[in-house]
């Protein structure tokens, strides 16, 4: 039985082929499919929250429901995949520059990818929580007030805002 080693050329080549195939698949197939929900194809997405355009015959209640759905779109952002893709690219570039060769050490690559992934992911999550989510809470309060003024719902009370932190 042969010993496994990250230093063998065959192991490195197999590893890099897997990384490149995974990267290309995520970048060219999965990301565009998910991002299409934010452009003109959003009405083809499966989730109702992407269907925010007004339609002929919509009532005020329909328009408010669509607007409310739009405030929930930030939940659909996929930070982990973009963080992973960015970490892979940046790690590979930095290590290729540092080692001045195409085949870089696998273990070092994996450690740098993990560190950068965590940094990117937490940065995106912090920004989303402290800016996007809070602005959505205030937008939801405004939507609730409009519903009340149009006699589509009861007046919002303090219990409606217990989720604000």
pLDDT at residue 160 tops 70: no
**66 close to 58: Cβ distance less than 8 angstroms:** yes
Could you read off the pLDDT of 53-85 as tens digits, one per residue? 778 888 888 888 888 877 777 777 778 888 999
pTM score above 0.85: no
Label residue 111 by pLDDT band (50, 70, 90).
Answer: very high
* pLDDT of res. 165: 46
Distances (CA, A) of 96 to 18, 70, 74, 104, 119: 18, 42, 35, 6, 21
* pLDDT of res. 46: 59
């Amino acid at each position: 039985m042969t010993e496994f080693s990250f230093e063998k050329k065959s192991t490195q080549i197999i590893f890099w082929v897997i990384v490149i195939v995974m990267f290309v698949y995520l970048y060219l197939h999965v990301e565009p499919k998910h991002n299409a929900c934010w452009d003109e194809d959003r009405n083809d997405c499966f989730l109702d929250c992407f269907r925010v355009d007004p339609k002929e015959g919509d009532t005020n209640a329909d328009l408010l429901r669509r607007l409310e759905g739009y405030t929930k779109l930030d939940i659909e952002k996929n930070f982990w995949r973009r963080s992973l893709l960015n970490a892979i690219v940046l790690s590979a570039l930095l290590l290729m520059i540092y080692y001045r060769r195409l085949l870089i050490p696998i273990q070092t690559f994996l450690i740098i990818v993990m560190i950068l992934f965590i940094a990117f992911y937490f940065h995106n999550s912090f920004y989303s929580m402290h800016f996007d989510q809070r602005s959505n809470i205030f937008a939801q309060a405004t939507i609730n007030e409009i519903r009340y003024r149009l006699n589509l719902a009861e007046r919002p009370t303090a219990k409606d805002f217990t989720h604000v932190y």
